[in-house]
Amino acid sequence: MNRSLTLGADVGGTYVKYALGDDGEPGRWTGEVASDPASPAITLGRLAARIAELLPPGGRVGAAGLACAGIVDVEAGRLGRAPNLPGWEGADLAGQLRAAFPDAAIALSNDVNAALAGEARFGAGRGGRDLVMLALGTGVGGAVMIEGRLLVGHRFGAGEVGHMILDPVGPLCGCGNRGCLEAYAGSRGLLAAARRRAAAPDGSPGLRALVAARGETLTTRDLADLAARDPDAAALFREAGERLGQAVGNLLNVLDPDLVIIGGGVAAAGELLLGPCRVTAAAIVLCEAARATPIVPAQLGSAAAALGAAHLAAARLAGGTRETP
């Protein structure tokens, strides 16, 4: 028996999450191996060794997709700027992936693009062809799908929704500009806002106590838990949600998608964030029918990018090409 399986891998600074399975069910085997931020060859070697242990008798990897944070040149198969993987910058990802899985059709993608591909095929975006996804993690990533195709841009820099500037004199963003969406709705920005609020003379006692108790270990989950009984904590999510809505409203005016998917750890705050987001977005949208565009939570969690990478590779195999996209 020769069973062709599909692999998807999502490379982060600490772990590579993988999903292996048949085309329709790429999450049959999932797990993670440690990534080596200095070496793609060592990392992909580790991944290949793990996958070799998992393959059923007669099974082989027929399609392998790799997702990476950073600018991924899907034509040349190279990784550009990659802050979480400094040793990987400029790496020949296609060549490394091909060396690790020589029999496989391969596909490369940016991690948020892969997450959107995953949500589109298996999660919150099923059935949609025009989709926008925002991933609210430490920073904010974005991805856009138009007529079923991921938008990568001419220089592979499209979808940087996190750096849409919402207020040119707003808080400083990690990118060096001010008032980017990321500075409000990424966890780094939200936690900074919480600390500023706690330090204000009229900051609520509850928020002040939480910030003092957690110190550097404070998380947006701590803030979301407090928000149920503390007006200052609730206001932090309302303000972040309104900023998110400002960005989403702008995107709805430009792209008019089927729906907008909000993922990432900060999105676990749910309606605290999405409620104000919907109200603000609707107020910005010009097209009356588009005001009701669904703005929904992601469904696949941290598995989305690995599942999406697998799907992109399977689609490449089905398309009859073994080359880099």
Does 214 bind Zn ion (CB under 5 A)? Our answer is no
| Residue 275-304 contact track with Zn ion, rule CB under 5 A, x = bound | ------------------------------
CB closer to Zn ion out of 118 and 137: 137
Cβ neighbours of residue 202 closer than 8 Å, sequence gap 6 or more: none
Residue 176: CB minimum distance to Zn ion, A: 7
CB closer to Zn ion out of 20 and 166: 166
Among 72, 116, 173, 191, binds Zn ion (CB under 5 A): 173
Rounded Cα–Cα distance for residues 322 and 325 (Å)? 9
Residue 142: CB minimum distance to Zn ion, A: 12
CB closer to Zn ion out of 16 and 164: 164
Residue 224: CB minimum distance to Zn ion, A: 23
Residue type, 231: P
Residue 175: CB minimum distance to Zn ion, A: 3
Does 188 bind Zn ion (CB under 5 A)? Our answer is no
Does 136 bind Zn ion (CB under 5 A)? Our answer is no
Residue 139: CB minimum distance to Zn ion, A: 8
Query: 141 to 170, contacts with Zn ion by CB under 5 A?
Result: 163
Does 175 bind Zn ion (CB under 5 A)? Our answer is yes
CB closer to Zn ion out of 161 and 307: 161
Number of residues near Zn ion (by CB under 5 A): 5
CB 51 within 8 A of CB 7: yes
CB closer to Zn ion out of 54 and 175: 175
- Pairing relation of β-strands 131-136 and 259-263? parallel
Segment contacting Zn ion by CB under 5 A, of 6-14, 31-39, 147-155, 180-188: 180-188
H, E, C per residue of the chain: CCEEEEEEEEECCCEEEEEEEECCEEEEEEEEEECCCCCHHHHHHHHHHHHHHHCCCCEEEEEEEEEECCCEECCCCEECCCCCCHHHCCCEHHHHHHHHCCCCEEEEEEHHHHHHHHHHHHCCCCCCCCEEEEEECCCEEEEEEECCEECCCCCCCCCCHHHCECCCCCCECCCCCECEHHHHHCHHHHHHHHHHHHHCCCCCHHHHHHHHHHHHHCCHHHHHHHHCCCHHHHHHHHHHHHHHHHHHHHHHHHHCCCEEEEECHHHHHCHHHHHHHHHHHHHHCCCHHHHHCCEEECCCHHHHHHHHHHHHHHHHHHCCCCCCC
CB closer to Zn ion out of 158 and 290: 158
Does 180 bind Zn ion (CB under 5 A)? Our answer is yes
Residue 162: CB minimum distance to Zn ion, A: 6
CB closer to Zn ion out of 181 and 234: 181
Residue 172: CB minimum distance to Zn ion, A: 9
CB closer to Zn ion out of 62 and 264: 264
Residues that bind Zn ion (CB under 5 A): 163, 173, 175, 177, 180
